[in-house]
């Protein structure tokens, strides 16, 4: 058994990781929805203020910090809850409460994300063929966004299926370990989808000269 403080810290991160990943994906989808929906809008319509961007940027960190504090309070209040799981792969709280809270946040974020994904897809389908706003490189960029949206919406389905299998089947030994690894890999997969955009990579390559885009959709996604 690891030291109590180390085990509690790991439990905080374990419960916060799925929620912060899905929340970050939701914020990305909202940002893309705002970009797509304001293309072709009248002047001043659909513009995004610095406050709006600030909320989208801060939301994942707020969710992560909130869940970490929640697990920290529960762990300090009930030290006996802090223990290793039955696979001995990580520490968690021997209580259903933190799992329910994280699950609620994840489900709400997934539902909201699917609404914005559907709205974005409808807007693209409605305007791509009839409008001249989407041409050339923009069409390719939009297709890349749609692919990312599609993969992101598929990942939670696998996550829910794995969670149901873990709870209902109650597997033991190697099978239980495989489920634990698979469930832990899904948030990393979602983060990889949204963290490998070319515009994000260009921002991190600060030593290179940046080029300006004429349209919010000119930048490859």
Q: State the pTM of this model.
A: 0.68
Percent of the chain with pLDDT over 70: 54
CA distance 106 to 198: 27
Give 170-182 pLDDT, tens digit per residue. 545 555 566 666 6
Q: Mapping DSSP to helix (H, G, I), strand (E, B) and coil, where does residue 125 land?
A: helix
Q: How far is CA 116 from CA 30, 35, 120, 218, in A?
A: 7, 12, 6, 21
Which residue's entry shows tokens 């994280």? 102
Spell out the domain ranges in the chain.
4-204
Q: Give the separation between CA 20 and CA 59, rounded to whole angstroms.
A: 9
CB 148 within 8 A of CB 221: yes
pLDDT digits (tens, 9 = 90+) for 115-128: 888 887 787 777 66
The pLDDT of residue 189 is above 60: yes
159 vs 138: CA distance, rounded Å: 32
pLDDT tens by residue, 107-153 = 788 788 888 888 877 877 776 655 554 555 555 666 666 676 667 66
Query: What average pLDDT does this structure show over 201-213?
Result: 66
């Amino acid at each position: 058994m690891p030291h109590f403080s180390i085990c509690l810290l790991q439990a905080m991160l374990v419960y916060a990781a799925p929620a912060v990943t899905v929340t970050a994906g939701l914020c990305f989808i909202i940002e893309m929805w705002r970009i797509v929906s304001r293309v072709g809008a009248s002047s001043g319509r659909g513009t995004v203020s610095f406050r709006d961007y600030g909320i989208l940027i801060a939301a994942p960190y707020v969710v992560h910090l909130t869940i970490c504090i929640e697990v920290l309070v529960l762990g300090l209040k009930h030290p006996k809850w802090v223990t290793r799981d039955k696979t001995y792969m990580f520490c968690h709280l021997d209580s259903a409460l933190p799992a329910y809270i994280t699950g609620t946040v994840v489900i709400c974020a997934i539902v909201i994300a699917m609404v914005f994904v559907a709205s974005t897809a409808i807007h693209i389908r409605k305007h791509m063929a009839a409008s001249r706003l989407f041409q050339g490189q923009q069409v390719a960029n939009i297709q890349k966004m749609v692919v990312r949206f599609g993969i992101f919406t598929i990942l939670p389905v696998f996550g829910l299926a794995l969670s149901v299998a873990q709870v209902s089947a109650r597997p033991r030994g190697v099978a239980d370990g495989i489920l634990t690894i698979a469930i832990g890999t899904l948030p990393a997969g979602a983060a990889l989808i949204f963290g490998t955009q070319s515009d994000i990579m260009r921002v991190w390559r600060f030593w290179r000269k940046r080029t300006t885009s004429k349209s919010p959709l000119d930048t490859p996604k």
